[in-house]
Structure 1
Amino acid sequence: MALIEIRDLVKKFDQQITLDGINLDVVEGEVKVVMGPSGCGKSTLLRCINRLVEFDSGTIHVRGKNICDSDVDVRALRQSIGFVFQQFALYRHLTVMDNVTLGLRKLRGMRRAEAEEKAMHELVRLDMAEHRDKYPSQISGGQKQRVALARALAMDPAVVVLDEPTSALDPVMSREVGQLIERLNSENVTMLCVTHDLRLASAIAERVTFLDKG
């Protein structure tokens, strides 16, 4: 069984079809890449998976559970899907450490010391430990991407979802992100990545799914 199973997914905005009968599986342990031009529905697809956007018809199952069942805890669903946003979505007034621990403390109820221990494990894993006390304005774009990844991984998600992870980065940093994704996948982290970056796609996945006009 696929970790994520999407069947006949349809999403409309003001009667304009954005996603038109999408079928997609993400298998545990793989990196699934979805490519397509800007405006084709890639980001909407990701937001449907964790119900940031409600879809019109079709089904999405995560670990065999229909995410629209009446007994689904949406907060728990979102915690199981580590979302790395296109512009990183770091809180500018918080340090790297506080950005990574925020979800652990507010959603998991961890004490600060316990949350910081968990966060430090991920920051070390992503070579960001020495930047723990810096603010987002004090680190590079590639480093912000690593912090966003550390924040997602700290929640022990079933899958990490990446929305255009290299769109804000220069070619050197983009290559580093590709290498980082490959390393995480070698550690059995399941990832779903949408991108229009052909170089990144070819580096991190053996097969690529193309989305065009929904």
Structure 2
Amino acid sequence: MALLEVSGLVKEFDGKPVLNGVDLSLEEGQVKVIMGPSGCGKSTLLRCINRLVEPTSGRILFRGEDVTRPDTDVRALRQRIGFVFQHFALYRHLSALDNIKLGLRKLRRMSDAEATDRACHELRRMDMEEHRDKYPAQLSGGQKQRVAIARALAMDPAVLFFDEPTSALDPRMAREVVALINQLFMDNVTMLCVTHDVFLARYISDRILFLDHGQVRAEGDVEQLLDAHDDPQIRAFFGPGTRAR
């Protein structure tokens, strides 16, 4: 059984479809990257899966459970799906340590000591423990992203979602985050990543889904889509020099 199965997913805003019948599956330990033109529904897809945005129709199975049902415990679902947002979404009034501890205390009901131990473990994993008492305004973009990843991992999710993890970073910091995500890939962390960064896609993915006009137009390994696809529009998207769009 796949960890995640999405079938016929539709999301409309003001009667206009942003997602128009998306199907995808994700196995335990697998990494898939979602790519496509701006506005094609990539981020909306991630947000529908963890119910930050309500799907219009379709079905989402998480470990065999239909999580689109109205009686779904959405808070419990979001604990199983770690989400790293494009612009980090850190609380400005909390230190790096306290940003990570917040969910552990409020959702996992850990004691302060337990939450501190878990948060420090993930900060060490991200090479950020020396910055534990700094506030987001005192951190670089790459450091903020590391804290955001540590916060997601601390909840021990079954899968980690990334929404454009390198788009808000300069090239040097982006490469650092790519190396970090690649280490998670090597550690067998299940991931679903939305990105425009072809370098990141080549580096971390088992499979790439090409999304266009709210539909999955193609799925394949890196070379199939980036180098040798039959569709000229897809080849053009992944043309020479493509890094970010």
TM-score (norm 1): 0.97
Shift of 1:203: 1.2
2:95 and 2:136 in contact (8 A); partners too = yes
Q: Secondary structure at the match of 2:212?
A: coil
Find the counterpart in structure 1 of residue 105 from structure 2: 105
Find the counterpart in structure 1 of residue 136 from structure 2: 136
Find the counterpart in structure 2 of residue 126 from structure 1: 126
2:36 and 2:196 in contact (8 A); partners too = yes
Cα RMSD (Å) of the superposition? 0.9
Find the counterpart in structure 1 of residue 208 from structure 2: 208
1:161 and 1:193 in contact (8 A); partners too = yes
Shift of 1:71: 3.9
In the aligned structure 1, how far is the partner of 2:69 from the partner of 2:52?
A: 16
In the aligned structure 1, how far is the partner of 2:173 from the partner of 2:103?
A: 26
2:31 and 2:207 in contact (8 A); partners too = no
TM-score (norm 2): 0.85
Shift of 1:72: 2.1
CA displacement 1:67-94 (0-9 Å, x = unmatched): 0234421110011100111100000110
In the aligned structure 1, how far is the partner of 2:10 from the partner of 2:71?
A: 22
Find the counterpart in structure 2 of residue 73 from structure 1: 73
- Note the residue ranges of structure 2 that are not aligned, 5 or more in a row: 215-245
Please tell me the residue identity of whatever aligns with 2:89: A
1:193 is aligned to 2:193: yes
In the aligned structure 2, how far is the partner of 1:26 from the partner of 1:128?
A: 30
2:31 and 2:185 in contact (8 A); partners too = yes
Q: Secondary structure at the match of 1:149?
A: helix
Decide which structure has the larger Cα Rg and report it: 2
Shift of 1:104: 0.3
Report percent identity of matched pairs: 67
In the aligned structure 2, how far is the partner of 1:22 from the partner of 1:160?
A: 20
1:62 is aligned to 2:62: yes
Find the counterpart in structure 1 of residue 165 from structure 2: 165
CA displacement 1:87-137 (0-9 Å, x = unmatched): 000001100000000000011111111100000111111101110000001
Please tell me the residue identity of whatever aligns with 2:85: F
Shift of 1:196: 1.0
In the aligned structure 2, how far is the partner of 1:38 from the partner of 1:205?
A: 20
Find the counterpart in structure 1 of residue 44 from structure 2: 44
Find the counterpart in structure 2 of residue 11 from structure 1: 11
1:30 is aligned to 2:25: no
Please tell me the residue identity of whatever aligns with 1:31: V
Size of the alignment, in residue pairs?
214
Q: Secondary structure at the match of 1:7?
A: strand
Find the counterpart in structure 1 of residue 90 from structure 2: 90
1:7 and 1:21 in contact (8 A); partners too = yes
Find the counterpart in structure 1 of residue 218 from structure 2: none
1:174 and 1:200 in contact (8 A); partners too = no
1:32 and 1:191 in contact (8 A); partners too = yes
In the aligned structure 1, how far is the partner of 2:88 from the partner of 2:148?
A: 6
